[in-house]
Amino acid sequence: MRIDKILNKRLIPVLFAAALIGSCDDRLDLAPEDSLTSDVVFSSKFAAQGAVTGLYAQAREVAAMNGNDYVYEGVMSDELEWTGSFPTIVDINIYEVQAPNGSTAAFWQEGYDLINLANFVLDKVPAMDEAIITQAEKNQLLGEASFMRAMMYFKLVNLYAQPYSLANGSSPGLPLVVMPFDDDAVVEEFQLPRSTVNEVHGLIASDLQNAIDLLPDNAENSRATQGAAKALKARLHLYRGEWQPAATLANEVIESGTFTLATDYTFWNSESTEHIFFINNNAVDGTFGGTGLHNFAVPAPAGRGDAFLSEDLLATFEPGDLRLEDPNNTIDGDNTNQVTKTFSNKVPSAQGDADMPVLRITEMYYIRAEANLRGGLSIGDTPENDINRLRARAGLAPLGTVTLDDILEERRKEFFLEGHRRADLLRNQRDLRPVGNPQFTQATFGADRTIFPVPARERENNPNIEQNPGY
């Protein structure tokens, strides 16, 4: 984590500010911010609940969970084209990123900020006096913090480490920080080496299982739920090629009936139960730290028009495919060069008040189909039925048989600009750019620059962390 940020004590006040927002305890309301300690915050149920609310506020950082990575991963792969002028993103697009790149470094910083907030909750809540907070209320807070920490570690390990498919998870992953940096913390104890991808995945799996055990099964899709934890764990197993648990968990989410497949594409920026979990933006709070995907991937003049669907992607759609032709999904407009291109319309507002999709029930059908196909399983339904159900919603005829290539192409068309394509290619040992692309060599599976560098400033402050090859 950013040791320099810790030394400046920027992390702890964020937690306390969130606690104050969520608190109605007079003693806390009247206390000056710089006099608060974590013990004071976690002596109040309302302040502890406010700390968990702060996790979702941190998730709205565009360099945490609110969309910048969707753009960066899209321009690294065959999903998006980029004509913007931001130098740090230009470097991502042409595979010339260096360790000091501010855009790639921001995810590490904001991600570990969120992880540290979750660590406070997970460390302090169990010891809270049950006279002020019930065990059921503790379980809710612990389950939400476990889910948010797991999701953030999953996002970070996918960005900064080679996929499980490269070396069966033995590649360097991330420093596993599981304790909060409190007032009495020793800096050297937080200067950790990188654990392996397998070890990071192990913590993610453990956190998600805790969330499954502790959280209710309801359709509150702007906060963590049991269904969201099962859905993310299904994705983790899919990425690791663990077909039976992937299919089983995806099937459990589908069969629960808590979340339901929408009949059309009007569900964006709504509380539709198509969404299992989304980042809840609004006109008051918008997004923190910039406009992110809301701006880069919205055509001019409302947005910048920097990132739009690639010609390679557009060529894969069949005539009549509503995933392309429905205006809820795409919109034509000018890019930065005033050339008409096709943009995603899934996050339509350039003002930062549209919700950011993270987990949808649709993904569970794709996971179940792929896991059943590759594992020779028959959990819940057949791959053909699952894929054709989704093709029917898109206005397309059914496929007679379904192959892995069919599933990956269907996923590509369903989830553009939702952060899936780069991971789908890498987990299947495929190249990020097509043959003939100027960056094809740098974008081949296993190449150094298919992942982000460990930020330069992080290495300056942590002598025990190794850089990724090629940086």
Residue 171 lies in a domain: yes
Continuous segment of H or E residues that includes residue 232:
helix 226-239
Residue 466 lies in a domain: no
Whether the Cβ atoms of residue 230 and residue 207 lie closer than 8 Å to each other: no
Q: Kind of pairing, strands 307-309 and 275-279?
A: unpaired
Residue 78 lies in a domain: yes
Distance, C-alpha 407 to centroid of its chain: 21
CATH code (residue 178):
1.25.40.390
Domain count, the chain: 1
Structural domain containing residue 141: 3-281+356-461
Residue 345 lies in a domain: no
Continuous segment of H or E residues that includes residue 360:
strand 356-360
- List the one residue out of 62, 111, 71 whose CA is nearest residue 417: 71
pTM: 0.93
* Tokens 């299947």, located at residue: 428
For residue 285, the model assigns a pLDDT of 65
For residue 38, the model assigns a pLDDT of 79
For residue 348, the model assigns a pLDDT of 83
Q: Kind of pairing, strands 307-309 and 340-344?
A: unpaired
What is the 8-class DSSP label of residue 266? -
Terminal-residue alpha carbon distance, the chain: 19
Q: List, for residues 334-390, the tens digit of each pLDDT value.
A: 999 999 999 999 998 877 889 999 999 999 999 999 999 999 999 999 999 999 999
What is the CB neighbour count within 10 angstroms for residue 409? Answer: 13
Distance CA 211, CA 17 (A): 25
For residue 291, the model assigns a pLDDT of 53
* Tokens 């983790």, located at residue: 236
Q: List, for residues 36-72, the tens digit of each pLDDT value.
A: 567 788 999 999 999 999 999 999 998 999 999 999 9
Distance CA 341, CA 455 (A): 34
Residue 191 lies in a domain: yes
What is the CB neighbour count within 10 angstroms for residue 115? Answer: 27
Distance, C-alpha 395 to centroid of its chain: 29
Distance CA 97, CA 116 (A): 27
Residues of the chain with pLDDT under 70: 1-37, 285-292
Two structure tokens written together for 140: 């809710």
Residue 442 lies in a domain: yes
Residue 347 lies in a domain: no
Residue 471 lies in a domain: no
